[in-house]
Structure 1
Amino acid sequence: MLGIVIAAISSTMYLLESHLEKFYIFTPSNLHQLSLEAISLHGNDTASVVSHIVSSLSSTHPAYVNLDEEWVFNNAGGAMGAMYIIHASITEYLIIFGSAVGTEGHSGRHTADDYFIILRGEELAYTPGKGMYEPERYPQGTVNHMKRGVVKQYRMETTCFALEYARGWIPPMLFFGYADTFSSTLDFPTLWRTTWITGKQMLGNLAIGKL
């Protein structure tokens, strides 16, 4: 039975792959522009930056934006931070992620393109290979675009927050987000709260036709 379910899901994903663009409601360029606007207005007042972004998105996408600003810890790939889930569906997620004390870890290798727009601080990233002796640097206002299947080491040396947007197949990414709970933190209350918020968002969006 499990094999049948997996095969059905895989077949559906394969058939929909070439049509994914039809299901996206956000665009990386618009989110980047909105982030730059918020930064220009509020600088390092991150609470106001986040409020500006969310209120603007709520006015343009009222049915798809979570206005309940609940922050939960997120442990993934050895890195620890906090996140506020603005939108979660089968093909997109949009969150604020960061830490006031810095963090470092493995990016994960994902089934979606990931756009990490720095709202405050600086992110360092590293990929073995060409140019491997110097870090990639992403200061405030820039975007670290990790294409689907790409993996990096990343670091936030001190306070750093970002608007993170992923587009592609989101459910497989959840395994990476949950793994540290079972292998190290054992923080099941946070896992439960994350699952509740994410599930509520995904099912709610499905109910109004948003894949």
Structure 2
Amino acid sequence: MAGWMKTSLFWLTVIIAATYGISYWLDNKSFIFTHGDLEDLAMKFKGTTIQKSFKTLVRDLKHRYGPHILDADKSSFFFVNAGGWMGQVCPLHVSLTEYVLVFNTVQESRGHSGRYWLNITDFVIDGWMEQWKEQTFRVENFTAGVTVFHPWLTSAGVHFGAGSWFLEYGRGFVPSSMFFASADAFFSTHDFISWFAMIKAFGLGLAQEAFLSAEEFIAHVFDS
């Protein structure tokens, strides 16, 4: 019994220390993206279809953020099933603390938003989404041109209209969302091809940001 208590106390201490460390890191680090910039870029395409404007949106993001946006040959759409809803996403930036992606659903879909250690912002370019926040008794509807904010550690019922597409920005501890995004692939759909595409995009994004950070550090060392 004493050994079990020591082990439990050890892991509890590790979890508390890790939680505090990550919180401190998130509170004190600088971020690449701003909500204002992303909103301005997304709303230029308000009311247009994804077929018409997707490539131009990616080009504009690439022009604004350079190598922090994945090249076209490294990013592609894949299915995500999570919390009952189904959509397809194209990750454009992935790091441990930020992500930018395009979300699209051709069919109406609804389910649970999930609950993450992330603030998530959806810039609705076309279509609509509904949000039923916990501990409320009404549904909010958001149409093209509206920005929808999902605060960290909150959850909601979500409903996406057919043909809707958004630019989505997440800021926080990105790995906290991975189990939710992966669970259906293992326990429901068995769509391991889409799951592998998601893990590949996550890995490519992390590798690219690590390379850019190393390049910046080396340049700083030589400049000093």
Relative to the length of structure 1, the TM-score reads 0.88
Q: Which amino acid is the alignment partner of residue 36 of structure 1? A: M
Name the counterpart of 2:85: 79
Match of 1:15 in 2: 24
* Residue number among 14, 36, 42 corresponding to 1:35 in the alignment: 42
State the secondary structure of the residue aligned to 1:70: coil
Task: Kindly provide the amino acid, as one letter, of the partner of residue 34 in structure 2.
Answer: T
- Structure 1 CA distance, aligned partners of 2:17 and 2:108? 41
Provide, for residues 139-198 of structure 1, a one-character-per-residue CA deviation record: whole Å limited to 9, x for no partner. 001011011111100001322111111011101111111111122111112111210111
| Structure 1: gaps (5+ residues) | none
Work out whether 1:111 is the aligned partner of 2:117: yes
Identity among equivalent pairs (%): 24
The aligned amino acid for 2:26 is: E
Residues 9 and 129 of structure 1: is their aligned pair in 2 closer, same or farther, counting only changes over 3 Å? closer
Tell me which of 189, 199, 203 is aligned to 1:195. 199
CA distance in structure 2 between the aligned counterparts of 1:8 and 1:129, rounded to whole angstroms: 31
The answer to whether the 8 A contact 2:26-2:97 is kept is no
Secondary structure of the 2:213 match is coil
SS at structure 1 position matched to 2:103: strand
AA aligned to 2:160 is M
1:207 matched to 2:211? The reply is: yes
Distance 2:192 2:71 in 1: 25
2:111 is the alignment partner of 1:102: no
C-alpha distance in structure 2 between counterparts of 1:196 and 1:58, whole Å: 20
Q: Which amino acid aligns with 1:81?
A: G
Q: Deviations over 1:14-62 (max 9, x none)?
A: 4313213x1x1111111111111122xxx42323322222111111211
Larger Rg: 2
The aligned residue for residue 173 of structure 2 is: 169
Residue 67 (structure 1) shift: 2.7
Aligned length: 203
Secondary structure of residue in 1 paired with 2:154: coil
CA apart distance, 1:94: 0.5
**1:158 correspondence with 2:162:** yes
Aligned-partner residue type, residue 27 of structure 1: T
* Larger helix proportion of the pair: 2
Provide closer, same or farther for how the CA distance between residues 13 and 36 of structure 1 changes in structure 2, counting only shifts above 3 A.
Answer: same
